[in-house]
Amino acid sequence: MKILAIETSCDETAAAIIEDGRKIITNIVASSAAMHEKTGGIIPEMAARQQVTSIIPVIDEALKGYSFDRDIDAIAITSGPGLIGSLLVGVESAKTLAMLSGKPIIPVNHVIAHLYANFLDTNDMPQFPALGLVVSGGHTEFFYLKSPKELKWLGGTIDDAAGEAFDKTARLLGLGFPGGPEISAKAKEFRIRNLVEGQGIKLPRPMMKDESLNFSFSGLKTAVHREVQRLKRKNELSEGWIQNISFEIEESITDVLVEKTLNAIEKFKVKSLLVGGGVAANRRLTEKFKLKAGNVNLHIPEPKLCTDNATYIGSYAAFNYFPLDWRKIEARPDLDVEV
């Protein structure tokens, strides 16, 4: 079965053809991130306008070499959560295709679907039960997966998400958007200069020792703000300090994510760990998981499948094949992840 999947929740316009939930046939992503770099963050109205311009060329490109009428069996669409203007573009386009073709259409929760990138183009299918960790721009959530069809929310961030922490602290340091890769690059420079951990500025690891399955990253942002203000007052916010603070931000976020995940693995006695979402593209996070997640099977998608794209939307829809009448599908910016 081939599914045409469409994803427009934020600043990426994406379409993909996925076969049997496991194989990527085509995968097209157009991003307006470069446009947002200038403003240091996403302006929803600008992102939505770019979605309108990109959606038809992106779907057309994803279908190249295939016939929508003959080759595509169903349509999968991100219905939420996300930015309303962006979501509407994908949702209404997908509904139009469904209305005209009569093909089944499946609405998909974008956040949960991130985990399904781990089922794509791999011979190493995760074993269940599994723990899912979604770390994206707006979400940091734990899920328990009894199987790819049976999933339960366990806990998540009570304020800023991990990606948001990267983006907001990058902004405080005057770095570009999205913040994750920018912070990571500066942290790497700090490591290359061979300064060992323990020197220079240290930042907190919020809620790391807390027993719950919740996260909080706003304290980290406040701590960075305080350090930046202190250095600015003394006119000392040099490249060296920016690299030091970036290093600590990356260490703090990855330490908290790894430590909490190890506790959850222990608690729920899972066989595999599935990580997904933009922050899963972080190399330091992968390094730490590889070092520490000893006796579970670790699954992290390749970086280009971590950040927003439509492939995992198609995979999720294949494993959770619940088509709806297109008239009943609507964009839901606040779609809940607590399932």
Q: Does 178 bind ligand KG4 (CB under 6 A)?
A: yes
Q: Does 206 bind ligand KG4 (CB under 6 A)?
A: no
Which one of residues 109, 136, 157, 243 is an interface residue with ligand KG4 (CB under 6 A)? 136
**Smallest distance, ligand KG4 to C-beta of residue 279, A:** 4
Across the chain, how many H-helices and E-strands are there? Answer: 12, 10
Q: Does 81 bind ligand KG4 (CB under 6 A)?
A: no
* Residue 282, contacted partner among Zn ion, ligand KG4, none, CB below 5-8 A by kind: ligand KG4
Determine which helix (DSSP H) or strand (DSSP E) holds 290, and give its type and residue range: helix 283-292
Which residue is associated with the tokens 């909080």? 216
Based on CB atoms, which residue is closest to ligand KG4, 104 or 314? 314
Residue 23: phi, psi to the nearest 5? -120, 130
Which one of residues 21, 156, 206, 278 is an interface residue with ligand KG4 (CB under 6 A)? 278
Q: Does 11 bind Zn ion (CB under 5 A)?
A: no
C-alpha dist (Å) from residue 84 to 141, 209, 278? 21, 36, 20
Radius of gyration, CA atoms only, the chain: 20
Mention every residue, 6+ apart, whose C-beta is less than 8 A from residue 198.
Answer: none
CA nearest to 87, candidates 338, 308, 315 = 308
Q: Does 164 bind Zn ion (CB under 5 A)?
A: no
* Residue 281, contacted partner among ligand KG4, Zn ion, none, CB below 5-8 A by kind: ligand KG4
Which one of residues 107, 156, 180, 314 is an interface residue with ligand KG4 (CB under 6 A)? 180
DSSP of 52-80 = HHHHHHHHHHHTTTS-HHHH--EEEEEEE
CA 24, CA 331: separation in Å to the nearest integer?
Answer: 25
| Stretch touching ligand KG4 by CB under 6 A, among 64-72, 144-152, 162-170, 213-221 | 162-170
**Smallest distance, Zn ion to C-beta of residue 277, A:** 6
Which one of residues 282, 311, 315, 320 is an interface residue with ligand KG4 (CB under 6 A)? 282
Based on CB atoms, which residue is closest to Zn ion, 167 or 308? 308
Which one of residues 51, 86, 109, 184 is an interface residue with ligand KG4 (CB under 6 A)? 184
196 Ramachandran zone, left/alpha/beta (phi>0; psi -120 to 50): beta
Which residue is associated with the tokens 């386009």? 93
C-alpha dist (Å) from residue 54 to 59, 192, 206? 9, 40, 39
Q: Does 281 bind ligand KG4 (CB under 6 A)?
A: yes
Q: Does 315 bind Zn ion (CB under 5 A)?
A: no
Q: Does 136 bind Zn ion (CB under 5 A)?
A: yes
Which positions lie near ligand KG4, rule CB under 6 A?
10, 136-138, 163, 166-167, 178-181, 184, 277-279, 281-282, 307-308
